Chain A
Amino acid sequence: MSTGYLSIIFHAHLPFVRHPEHQDSLEENWLHEALTEVYLPLLSVLEGLVEDGVDFRLTFSFTPTLLSMLLDPFLQSRYLQRTERLIALAEKETERTAQQPEFHRLAQLYHQRFLNLRDAFANRYGRNLVEAFRKFQELGKIEILGSAATHAYLPLLSLNPSAVRAQIQTGIAYGEQVFGRRPEGFWLPECGYCPEVGRMLSEEGIRFTILETHGVTRAEPRPKQGVYAPIYSPSGLAAFGRDPESSRQVWSSVEGYPGDYDYRDFYRDIAYDLDLDYLRPYIHRDGIRLDTGIKYYRVTGKTNHKEPYVPERAESKAEIHAGNFILNRQRQVEYLASVMDRKPLIVAPYDAELFGHWWYEGPAWVNHLVRKIASGEGSLRLITLSEYLEEYPINQVAAPAISSWGYEGFNDVWLNGSNDWIYPHLHRAARLMEKLSDGQCRPGPLAERALAQARRELFLAQASDWAFMINSGAMTEYATRRTKRHLSRFFRLGEQIQNNAIDESLLQGWEVQDNIFSSLL
C-alpha cells in the first residue's frame, strides 16, 4: 500500500537545427550529443526495465521540433556519419592510451559504448527513435505529453490568440501523427502560463499541464493542498505544480547530485586536451574543437585538478543517490499524507538533457530509482499524471497564476533589453498570418505551398530558443540570424502571396531548408 505518488517527467527538447546548406554544422551537433548521451541511453534503461519485468510509470514530453528532427532521414544519416567518426576516434584512443592503464580501460569502454549505440540506432531501432519510445507508450509504461509546435513561449504571443492556438493545435496534431495517440497532457514550453493559454488548452481537449510551483501556489483562490495535488482552472484544465524540493535535489548546480566528486566531469573532454592535428578528422571541418564525448576525468573537486574517472564508483554513487532521493520523497509523502485528505503527489519535471548530457550518470540514476521503487523501497509509487486524475477526479477549482520556470519565475529571460526587438515582429507576423489565412488570397497549388511554407517560417521564428540564446549571450549571433531569417522569409512569402507573385524557385529553396512539419502542413 503506497502512502504517496511520484511522477517524474522528462522534458525532451531541441530547437530545429537542420542545416543541409552546410557540410558540417555546429548546431546539428546538439542533436548528435543528445542522441548519444541522452535518448539512446534512456531507451536502453527502459528496455532493461521491461526485459527484467520491472513495473514503472514515467512521463516524457518530446517537442515537435525534436520529433521532427528525430524522424528526418537527412539528420539520421548525418548522425550515423558522426557516430562512425566517434568509433574511429575511440579506437585510435585505445592505441594512444595503451601505456596508460587508467585511461586505456576507459578508451576501450567508450569504443564499445559507441559500437553499441550505433548498433542500437541503426539496427535495433532502424534509425527511428520516435517509434522506439512509442513502443513503451503502447506498453503503458510511459505517458507522452504534447507540446507547442516549435517551443514558443506562449505568454508573450498571447496578444494574438491565433498564434497561440496554431502553436497548440499543430503541436498536438504532430504528436498525434507520430505517436498515434492524442495526448491528454500538454507540456507548456518553459512552463510559460497565462490564463489565455489555459483556456485554449481546454478548448483543444487537453486535460492537464504542469506549472512551475508558483503557478499553483499563487492561484486564485488559495489552493488547499499546495503543489501536492492538482487544481482545476475555471475551464477544467488540471494544473500540476512542480515540487521544489525534488527539483533542487537533482537539478541545483550547487547542491544537486550531478556535482558529486565521483561523477564524470562534463567539461574535461579530449577535444580540448589533445593536439589539433590528431583530432582534426573527428571534429568540425573548420578545425573547431567540438566535444567528442570522450572524457576521462571525474569531478574530483572544485579546483582544476582532476582525477581519472572510475565508472564503478560513479555507478555506485548513482545507486546511493537514487536511494537518497527515495528516502527524501518518502519522508515528504509521509508528512504530507498526515495532513492531506488523499495520497500526496510529488511532481518532478526535469529537462531530459540533464540525464546523460550534463549528468553522465543520470540514466543510471533513473535506472536505480525505478528499480528501487518497484522493489518496494519506501512506500512510494510511480504514477503518470493522467493516472492520478483517474484516481482523484475531484479537485479544487483555482485559477492558476501567470508563471514560468525561467529565472525569477516570469518573462524576464525571454523579454529584456537584449531580445525585446523580436516581439513587435512576431506580433506583426501573427497579424499578417491571420490575413493570409482568411481565404481572401487567390487559391491554387502554388499559393497553398507558399502559405504552408509561410506557416513553417512563422513557427520557426516563434521558437523561444532564439530569445533564450540571445539573452544568455551564448550563440547570440546564430540565434539572431535564425530569428531574422525566418521572419524575413515569412514576410516575403506573405507579400508574394498577397500580390500573387510567388517566386517558385525561392520557395523551393526554403521548403528544402526549413522543412519542418512537411507531413502536416
Chain B
Amino acid sequence: MDKSQEESKLLPRDSASPDVIPDEAESGEELDAEELYARAQLEDDEIPGGDEETKVVLLPVNPHLLYVYWEFSARDLEEMSRVFSRLGPRARPVLRFYETQTNPDSLNSASCLEVAIALSAGKWYVRLEHPADSYCLDLGIYLGQGSFRLLARSNVAEIPKVCPSDKREERYFRVEGNQSPAEVVAAPAQGSSASRSAPSEDKTQAPPGRLLRSGEASRSAQAWVEPPGREVNGPEHRGAWGSFIASAGHPGEEAELAVQPSASYSRPLYDGSEDDGAIDRELERTRLSRGAPEEETQRQLAEFSRQRSWDRAWWSPGVKDREESQAAAELRTDLTDLSERSFRAGLSSGQKSS
C-alpha cells in the first residue's frame, strides 16, 4: 500500500464527520485539533437544568421494589415553600399508590396505600410485599383537616411477574413473512408425539412451591429514601429483601427448608430420584448458596470437580426406566415449570451483575 492509500484510509469516509487525528496530523493542524478538543470539553460536567411542569415518575426496579422521582416547576416550588412556612409539620407530603389495570382515570381509591416522604429528597424507593399487576401514584400534600393538595399524577407502571401464570389458555397465531398474524383455530398437529404425555388442560391445582399471588395477602409497603452516597443494592437492602421474602411464603426460604449438605450442586434437575418437595429444596438451596460462605463455595467446587467426568450428562430428565408417580410425570411434562425451575436454579450464574 503506498502512502497516499494509507493516508486515505485514515480519513473519514463520511463528509459529515470531518475528523482530526492528532497522531497523523501536521504540527499546525495538531494545534488546531487540541484547541478544538479543549473547547469542546468545556462545561461538559454541567447538565443544564430544566424548568418544566411538576412531574412524578414511577419505575419498577423489580417485582418488589419501585423507584419514584419527582421534579417541580419553579411556580410549584415557590408555592410549596409558602405552604411549608405556613403549616410547618402539619403539611405532610405523601405518595399515594393506586392499583390499576386500565387507566389512571378509573382508579380504585379503596385500594390505595400511602407512603410519607420528604419532598426535598426528590426520589423515593418503595418496597411492596405483595405487588399488584400495575400501579400509578399521586404526589401530594396533606394540608391539615383532611385537605389534600394533588401536585402530580404519575405514569402507570406494570410490575414484573414473580412466577409463571396459572392461566392455561391456548391460542395460536400463524405468522409468515411480512404478513399480519392470523389466529388459527386449534393447536398445530406437528410431530408424532403430540399428545403422548401432554399435561392436563384442566389443571386447577397449583404446582408445588407456588408463590402467593396478588390479592392473597394483605397489601403492605415499606419505603425509604437513599441518603446520599448509599447504594440501594447493598447488604442492608439485600437483608431486608430476604426477610420480607421469608414472610411472603416463597418456597425454600422458610426456616424449615434446611440446606442438605449432601446434595450435589450440579445434580440434574428432574432426575426423578426425589419427590417434588425435594426438588424445590434443592433448587432453593442452590439459590441460597449464592451468598454462601467460603467453605460452602469450596465444597460446591469440590463437588463439581468430582462430577465433572466428561462421559456423564448433566442434563438428564430421568423419564426412562423409572416408575414414577403420575404427579411427577405431569410435572415433568410441564415445560414451563421445567424451564422456570431450571432458570431459578441457575439464577445469576449466567447473568450480568458487574
Give A residues with C-beta under 8 Å from B: 20-21, 23, 71-74, 76-78, 81, 127, 156, 159, 190, 194-195, 205, 207, 212-214, 216-228, 232, 235-236, 238, 241, 243-245, 247-256, 302, 320-321, 323-324, 327-329, 331-332, 335-343, 389, 392-397, 401-403, 405-413, 415-418, 420, 423-425, 427-428, 431-432, 452, 468, 471-474, 481, 484-485, 487-489, 491-492, 495, 505-506, 508-513, 515, 518-519
Q: Which chain A residue has the least Cβ–Cβ distance from B65?
A: A412
Q: Is B254 an interface residue (CB 8 A)?
A: no
Q: Is the interface of B mostly helix, strand, loop or mixed?
A: loop
Contact B350 A252 (CB under 8 A): yes
Contact B21 A341 (CB under 8 A): no
- In the bound complex, residues from chain A placing their C-beta under 8 Å from that of B317 are 331, 335
Q: Give the size category of B's interface with A.
A: 35 or more
Q: Which chain B residue has the least Cβ–Cβ distance from A302?
A: B301
**Knowing A389-B175, A515-B19, A519-B16 touch, does A424 contact B231 (C-beta < 8 A)?**
no
Q: Which chain A residue has the least Cβ–Cβ distance from B33?
A: A20
Stretch of B40-48, B88-96, B102-110 lying at the A interface: B40-48
Q: Which residues of chain B from 161 to 204 have a CB within 8 Å of any chain A CB?
A: 161-176, 178, 180-181, 183-184, 187-191, 193-198
Q: Which chain A residue has the least Cβ–Cβ distance from B332?
A: A339
CB distance from B316 to the nearest CB of A (A): 6
- In the bound complex, residues from chain B placing their C-beta under 8 Å from that of A432 are 50
Contact A328 B11 (CB under 8 A): no
**Knowing A341-B194, A408-B348 touch, does A336 contact B335 (C-beta < 8 A)?**
yes
- In the bound complex, residues from chain B placing their C-beta under 8 Å from that of A255 are 265-266, 304, 349
Q: How far is the CA of A324 from the CA of B48 in the complex (A)?
A: 56
B23-37: CB near A (< 8 Å → 1, else 0) gives 110000000010011
Of A227, A341, A393, A513, the residue contacting B176 (CB under 8 A) is A393
B213-244: CB near A (< 8 Å → 1, else 0) gives 00000000000001000111100000000000
Contact B164 A331 (CB under 8 A): no
Stretch of B52-60, B140-148, B245-253 lying at the A interface: B52-60
Q: How far is the CA of A345 from the CA of B310 in the complex (A)?
A: 24
Q: Is B20 an interface residue (CB 8 A)?
A: yes
Of B191, B297, B338, B351, the residue contacting A406 (CB under 8 A) is B351
- In the bound complex, residues from chain A placing their C-beta under 8 Å from that of B297 are 254
Q: A226-B334, A253-B349 are in contact. List 16 more A-B contacts (CB 8 A).
A: A73-B12, A74-B10, A159-B59, A214-B343, A216-B339, A217-B343, A220-B161, A221-B165, A222-B166, A342-B190, A342-B191, A393-B174, A396-B170, A402-B160, A417-B232, A508-B18
Contact B20 A77 (CB under 8 A): no
- In the bound complex, residues from chain B placing their C-beta under 8 Å from that of A406 are 351-353
Q: Is B3 an interface residue (CB 8 A)?
A: no
Closest CB pairs A-B (n = 4): A509-B40, A226-B335, A236-B181, A518-B17
Contact A207 B175 (CB under 8 A): yes
Q: Is B319 an interface residue (CB 8 A)?
A: yes
**Knowing A331-B316, A332-B315, A428-B52 touch, does A519 contact B14 (C-beta < 8 A)?**
yes
Q: How far is the CA of A339 from the CA of B50 in the complex (A)?
A: 58
Contact B339 A226 (CB under 8 A): yes
Q: Which has the most chain B C-beta neighbours within 10 Å: A222, A416, A472?
A: A222
Contact A218 B164 (CB under 8 A): yes
Of A23, A401, A423, the residue contacting B161 (CB under 8 A) is A401
Q: Which chain B residue has the least Cβ–Cβ distance from A473?
A: B354
Q: Which chain A residue has the least Cβ–Cβ distance from B189?
A: A341
CB distance from A75 to the nearest CB of B (A): 10
Q: Which chain A residue has the least Cβ–Cβ distance from B133?
A: A220
Contact B47 A245 (CB under 8 A): no
Q: How far is the CA of A127 from the CA of B6 in the complex (A)?
A: 11
Q: Is B158 an interface residue (CB 8 A)?
A: yes
Q: Which chain A residue has the least Cβ–Cβ distance from B69?
A: A424
Q: Is B322 an interface residue (CB 8 A)?
A: no
Contact B57 A488 (CB under 8 A): no
Of A156, A159, A238, the residue contacting B155 (CB under 8 A) is A159
CB distance from A284 to the nearest CB of B (A): 15
Q: Is B139 an interface residue (CB 8 A)?
A: no
